[in-house]
């Protein structure tokens, strides 16, 4: 659920080891499920656009880019923020 995540307009870190996986899932529900099922996933961003990397998963070491994100929203799991 959305309650399990903190939401911001923004994106995950774009490059480096922080980006764990990308999928074409372009909804909150699908991308959140992908994150929950991926060991080490602490955050994700997604867009509703139909593109190959609509959902992007990141580990806890990533530095999010909060703010102007184009069409993306950023979500971090609350357990990693506590």
Contacts of 11 (CB under 8 A, 6+ apart): 45, 56, 64, 65, 69, 70, 72, 74
**Average pLDDT per block of 10 residues along the chain, 82 residues long:** 78 79 95 94 94 93 81 82 46
Q: Looking at the chain, how many residues does it have? A: 82
Q: What is the pLDDT of residue 25?
A: 96
Q: What is the pLDDT of residue 69?
A: 66
Q: What is the pLDDT of residue 50?
A: 95
Contacts of 17 (CB under 8 A, 6+ apart): 59, 61
CA angle 51, 3, 77 (to 5 degrees): 65
């Amino acid at each position: 659920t959305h309650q399990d995540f903190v939401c911001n307009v923004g994106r995950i870190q774009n490059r480096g080891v922080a980006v764990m996986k990308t999928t074409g899932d372009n909804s909150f529900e699908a991308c959140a499920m992908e994150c929950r099922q991926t060991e080490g996933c602490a955050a994700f961003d997604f867009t509703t656009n139909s593109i190959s990397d609509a959902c992007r998963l990141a580990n806890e070491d990533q530095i999010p880019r909060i703010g102007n994100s184009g069409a993306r929203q950023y979500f971090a799991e609350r357990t990693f923020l506590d």
